[in-house]
Each structure stands twice: as C-alpha cells, then as structure tokens.
Amino acid sequence: MSEVLIHCHKLTKHYKKGTLTVTPLEALDLDVERGEFLALMGPSGSGKTTLLNLLAGIDSPSEGVLEVCGEDISRLSRGRLARWRARHVGYIFQLYHLVPVLTAFENVELPLLLDNMSRRARRERVENTLALVGLQDRMHHYPRELSGGQEQRVAIARALVASPDLLVADEPTGDLDREAGDAVLELLERLGTVHGKTIVMVTHDPHAADTAHRLLRLEKGRLLEAETMHHAG
C-alpha cells in the first residue's frame, strides 16, 4: 500500500508588494507518494519555487492544508519548523551553495554538527554519503578544485547526509553541461528507486523532467495536467 508523504489541499500563498497582493500559488491540491520522483515545470513566475519553498518548510502558506511527513507544517512555530526541516528535508540548489573554505567532507558534515552524534559516527556517515554520490576520492578537495558536476554532487551529499525523507531540488542541473547534468539526474533517479527518497524537482529543462516519474505543470499558481512518465516504477 502506497503512503502519501506530501498532502496539499487548497494550498495558497499571498504576499504584499506595495499596495498589491500577489498570489504566486492558488488553491493547489497535490498528493505525492513516498519514493516518488516528481518534476515541476512552468514559466517564470508560475509558482514553482514558491511551492518548493512551502514543501521544504522555508516559507509558510497563507491558507490551506500542507502536510509533509505526517506533520501539518503550516501550524508549526518557527523553532519547531526549523527542527522539523533539519530532520525531514534536504534542499539542493542550482548554484550548490557550498562553503568555499571547507573541503567536500566538511561541507557535507555541516548539517550533522547540530546533532549529538559521536565524531566517529559523523565521519562514517559523511564518508558513506560521499561514496553514495561517487566522490569518496574527492572528500578532501575544496569546491574550487572540483568541477561543477562534482560540486553539485557534494551539494546532494550534504542534502542527503541527515537521511531526510524528502529531497527538494531547484533547477539542480541548470548550471551544468549536459553530461554533468545527466550524471546528477541519474543519481537523483537512483536515490528514488534504490534508496526510497521522495524527490520534488523544479526544472525548465524537458530533458531533466523526463527523468522523473511524474511531471506537473504550473501556470499562474495553478496546476495543469499531470503526466506520468513512461518509466514510472
């Protein structure tokens, strides 16, 4: 029996821009199952990144229900939301956001420094996660010594290291050439199918979207037709 990891009902986001009220997301209904790889496409300003930030607990909805990993995160206080996010969500950005003065190992270790893990357990977790993304031989390199594709894989390892249920990826291949981008997409797909991660990815690249199990299109804050991809598992 499949388990719904994300449940949105009439999810709406407004914000004020001067005297105007802007609504990047309006009355959105969406369910995402555990282990699903979902791609979101749509023109600029269609609400894709707003939705991603709501799902990741970075932003809060104005109205509606937003349940992620069994918790109604729209009702959590700021402090509880931060703790929830650290436990359940890994965020992958287009521009990696690695700390340039830290090695790959130290960048991946960052999210674990808040946990009361022993140093040895932390080290083992970081090394295993870097091995998972194929970078165990680069763990002592600094970001400037890595290619763009390697930097993005370090960023994915950092998002993964705390064993989150949900990975959200905002244009994860947007800054990479096709070959490096394909390697990242292949890794994301494997994290879903082999390791059971639930992935929600925003992309403008149909080739990237083709890796996902399901494609949703957003237009002016509303969902259009859903497409199930040919290789859905």
Burial grade of 140 (CB within 10 A; 0-12, 13-18, 19 or more): exposed
Residues 139/153, Cβ–Cβ less than 8 Å:
no
Interval 96-102 mean pLDDT: 89
- Numbers of helices and strands, H then E, in the chain: 7, 10
Give the 3-state secondary structure of residue 79: helix
Cβ–Cβ < 8 Å for 91, 159: yes
Model pLDDT for residues 187-217, shown as the tens digit of each residue: 889 888 888 899 999 998 898 999 999 999 9
Pairing label, strands 63-68, 71-72:
antiparallel
Distance of CA 187 to the CA centre of its chain: 13
For 4-228, give the CATH class. alpha beta
28-40 pLDDT per residue, tens: 999 999 999 999 9
Q: Where are the alpha helices (DSSP H) in the chain?
A: 48-55, 78-88, 104-109, 119-132, 148-160, 178-193, 206-209
**Residue 167, pLDDT score:** 93
**What integer pLDDT is reported at residue 23 of this predicted model?**
87
Res. 1 pLDDT band, cuts 50 70 90: low
More confident of the two residues 225 and 71: 71
The predicted-structure confidence for 178-190, as pLDDT tens digits, reads as follows 888 898 898 889 8
Burial of 40 (0-12, 13-18, 19+ CB in 10 A): buried
SS3 191: helix
At 232 the pLDDT is 43
- Taking only the tens place, the pLDDT of each residue in 119-175 is 999 999 999 999 988 998 999 999 999 998 899 889 989 998 988 999 999 998 888
pTM above 0.85, yes or no: yes
pLDDT (0 to 100) of residue 81: 87
CA 183 to CA 161: how far, in whole Å? 19
Q: What is the DSSP letter of 167?
A: E
Mean pLDDT of 22-30: 89
8 Å CB contact between 64 and 74: yes
Answer left, alpha or beta for residue 214, where phi above 0 means left and psi between -120 and 50 means alpha.
beta
**Percent with pLDDT over 70 in the chain:** 95
